[in-house]
Amino acid sequence: MAKLVFGMNQSLDGYVDHMAFAPSPTLFRHFIEEAEQQAGSLYGRRIYEIMRYWDDEHSEWGADERAFAAAWRKQPKYVVSRSLKAVGSNARLVEGDLEGAIRTLKAEHDGEIEVAGPVLADSLTELGLIDEYRIYLHPVVLGHGNPYFAGPRPPLRLVSHDRIGEDVVRLTYVPA
């Protein structure tokens, strides 16, 4: 059975904004390794549209960007959306009963399925479907943006913490 993992970069004041700060080269390589090992990714419409950037080749990319793009393209993507009618390569729409669809998805796969986006994560948290939360805490203060927890923070238990690179701490929690 697959494990749903919600992990995102977060500022010290609790916001996730990929445009306000970016991962260091060390952290980006960590994300490449994770993407290579994941059983898939589960997206809401907005995050999926942002991530479609990796579908196209860009001449300015270095080796790490090409490696991440290859890993992203290879893995199955599941997109939760009421407005999209079609999705790109190696992706499928998740429609209808969200809870039933995600429980089936978890039962049909092994390994980790990444959950991307705080709004989708909030819906899945309310349904009790997220198995692990990974906060990549960066030493920046944003003062605005989308919070990591889009709704009330669920009861959590810290299971591990580690440093990645020079200035990021990964905090790993499970539902309490």
User: Residue 121 CB: number of other CB atoms within 10 A?
Assistant: 27
Query: Tell me, what's the pLDDT at 49?
Result: 94
**21 pLDDT band (50/70/90 cuts)?**
confident
Rg (CA), the chain: 16
Query: Tell me, what's the pLDDT at 22?
Result: 83
Domains of the chain: 3-175 (3.40.430.10)
**18 pLDDT band (50/70/90 cuts)?**
confident
The amino acid occupying position 172 is T
Count of residues for the chain?
176
Query: Are the CB atoms for 138 and 10 separated by under 8 Å?
Result: yes
Query: Tell me, what's the pLDDT at 20?
Result: 83
Task: Give the pLDDT confidence of 144-160 residue by residue, as tens digits.
Answer: 999 999 999 999 999 99
Average pLDDT, the chain: 95
